[in-house]
Structure 1
């Protein structure tokens, strides 16, 4: 596949320590003990386990409660990945090379797809993190009380907190490398492109959650059941529409940057979009947590499995950050002695706090269901016989 080994990708691969000329094939398996450093297999295992747990949880909800919402979320995230990622890896093959050069390159992990472009853990992180964020927001009752749009904003905000903990560490530990001069990566927030901080950490999960709740979740809450054919069709539609939403939601920043000709202006609008999301999500999540005293206990709470995993994820990421901290603190000019760019420690700490508080709030209401007014519809699940 050497014809797809563009100069930009070849340079990024060399900086990460591998050659794109020999980067496997459609599928490749490597020795996990022979990767760039020990953090790669740790990250890979952590994320893949989370994705498997999220899928098992989705199947359990479908079987026990006739609720396909999580299954649609899981596969909708995969559909989104398959639509968004390949053109970014092979812009020439998709006829967009004149407009989009290679924006980044992942390092090679144990299991790889697409000639060294797509590690298995990247496939897994989409449904894993979407499930964690969605379950936190749903367990807090945001969708029931505030509706689909506000709930989706909260999912994007929570997802952003969990994702940025990982996003600001990756470049230093050589999990991936960004193309520094690429216009779509501008401006940078330390080692991370600000468009990534907003679009891939917050807006895409917001778009996915909006579509999942609109096409499936709210109907399930009203007692509707779906056939297998309906589930498959809606999953495909959700993957497509979530991809379109990821183009529409950042449009204010895209247009502002294009019209002004300044990436700084575009970056300011990106940041403003994130601030708006935070301004909506923080008070809503806080108020729902405060309402936990108005809840009544129910017998089963299978989402505690996902919450337990989310806590483990935060512990692993804290350990990886701790391992990276000596080199981080010794960095000069935003670059470690080994030549690796560093992310923002203060922003990561803020994200740790938000993720931890969100998870704790959901956990504290994890075995409860919000009391609804007598005249408001609620989902009733019949006990299994």
Structure 2
């Protein structure tokens, strides 16, 4: 009986050992091959087992970092990428991935450092060149961004995303012809590239090529519906209709025509400042003055600024600007974006979207993340977040806190 018992005990130990080895092998396989929660759990099991070599652990930390990044848990992703780098410091891909996580946190300095390291380890890392270009563009350093995109394209001439990103940088510099060329190349390489169609449409709209802008916005919406493309199409169609009507009537307007730009202020030499009750009065004042080629009308204070020329445009929720005739649009400012806060104030009018948010800060973040949002109001009692495309002058209301986007220009 004793011998039999000893034999069974040994067999159980062998089975348990084999089962443990099989479990470890399964975790490693699932960590490397699966996605989502299954991969995250398996990678955690590999890391916590304490029996794997450095190479296996480096891959487990990398894969778990990827899963955390996909969930938006950027700090946890950075911690795991850092652990993977400690175990395998020559892997350029991990530096590139950690750079993406820093970029998602808007820590562009650290992101650029990681992309630089990825390129040091692998000078032909096209993704790292492209991602570094995005970081430079986010800092408003468009010349450096363009050089980085050049590097990505030199390595991979079929890299549609890099052409689209370089086109965006050219557009922000006001180099519209180069921007159109790059967006066209991106579309030729990837006909399903909705952002490239949308970006080219914006440039065409700035150039007054409204028919081409409408066509590109419609193509972008067919590929992938988006709020920004829908709003862009709406504006371009209205501008095209106005231009078409003028042509069909076969006569020049009795007064000067203007290209209006909502939520926009202009820098440039000022020739006059007048009180104006509304936008129409401001526009007529500029139209009657031969020296005036642009205006900025502050809706909140009913003040009209007449300008000899427009040298730069920037986002301002209180202002509508106009350019006379075929005046060429000036470059867009690369100044930092700020969220202005107005406590106990409310924006009147009908919002384009409303949703429940836990806090004022969540409502503010929702506006900041939306290209169509220029201002918001957070109703304290109901936790309702209202999103506005244009901001009329705010009114006092102790039950509401509000905010608006504005570029900070000295």
* TM class, shorter-length: under 0.3
- Higher Rg: 2
Whose RCO is larger (CA < 8 A, sep 6+)?
Answer: 1
Identify, as 1 or 2, the structure richer in strand: 2
